[in-house]
Amino acid sequence: MGAAMSPPNTSELPGRRKGRWQLILILLMVIGPMALATFMYKLQFWVPDGRSYHGELIGNGQTRGDIGVQADEQRWQLLVTAPAACAADCKQLVYLARQLQIGLGRDASRASHALASAQPVSSDYDAKLKAEYPQLQRYPLDLPAFTKNAGAPGDAQLWIVDPHGNLVLRYDATVKGKDLLNDLRHLLKLSNIG
């Protein structure tokens, strides 16, 4: 005859159940937050409405080249684009870009300022730029490439460009210098590049 089957040991069952519950709880603690974050992103609920920057965020991977500026700058850059003649708003942004770089204080070497214009500037303004803005980098603005970009408006703009050439934020001529300086300082504080 065969050996008689012994009944299962009932003292081991509560320990196994307890171990399974612990495993389930651990998995829920690990997977739960990831699942919640995914649902929040996909369904757009509990997403904060506030923001901490003042310009228009350019978060689609565009580069300087996408707006018609060919440059090889390895620092953060305050780039003014002028698709038309560099009028009063353009001149104000060029002045602001220089002041912002100076306002960075000890971080001033981490940034540069530049002007990309589709048309040559007037001879008077050109002389002023050479005399008063010796560190201003100047580039030609490829107008067909600029106008092909749907995100590029037709008036003068100031762009914050990261050291890899990616467009980060855009401002028009109505921006307050203090707001822009706060945005730039925040970016430099968070950045490990440039």
18 and 70, same domain (yes or no): no
In a domain? residue 5: no
116 and 65 share a domain?
Answer: yes
Instruction: Please indicate, yes or no, whether residues 65 and 43 belong to a single structural domain of this protein.
Output: no
Task: Tell me, yes or no, whether 43 and 61 share the same domain.
Answer: no
What one-character-per-residue DSSP string does the chain give? -PPPPPPP-TTTHHHHHHHHHHHHHHHHHHHHHHHHHHHHHHHT-S-----S-SSEE--S--BGGGGT------SEEEEEEESS---HHHHHHHHHHHHHHHHTGGGGGGEEEEEEESSPPPHHHHHHHHHH-TT-EEEE--HHHHHHSTT--SS-EEEEE-TTSBEEEEE-TT--HHHHHHHHHHHHHH-S--
pLDDT of 128 reads 95
Is 37 contained in some domain?
A: yes
Give the pLDDT mean for 104-108.
91
Residues 74 and 131 in one domain: yes
The pTM for the full model equals: 0.71
User: Each residue of 131-176: pLDDT tens digit?
Assistant: 999 999 999 999 888 888 756 677 899 999 999 999 999 999 899 9
Residues 111 and 154 in one domain: yes
Domain contains 147: yes
Considering the domain architecture, whether residues 42 and 113 belong to the same structural domain is answered as: no
pLDDT at 94 over 80: yes
Q: What is the CATH number of the domain that holds 161?
A: 3.40.30.10
Residue 120 included in any domain: yes
Instruction: Quote the number of domains for the chain.
Output: 2
Same domain, 122 and 150: yes
pLDDT of 141 reads 93
Whether residues 60 and 43 fall in one domain? no
pLDDT tens across 9-18, in order? 555 567 788 8
For residues 105 and 143, membership in a common domain is answered with yes
One domain for residues 63 and 116: yes
Task: Find the domain containing 156 and state its range.
Answer: 56-190
The reply to whether 183 and 135 lie within a common domain is: yes
Residue 104 in any domain: the answer is yes
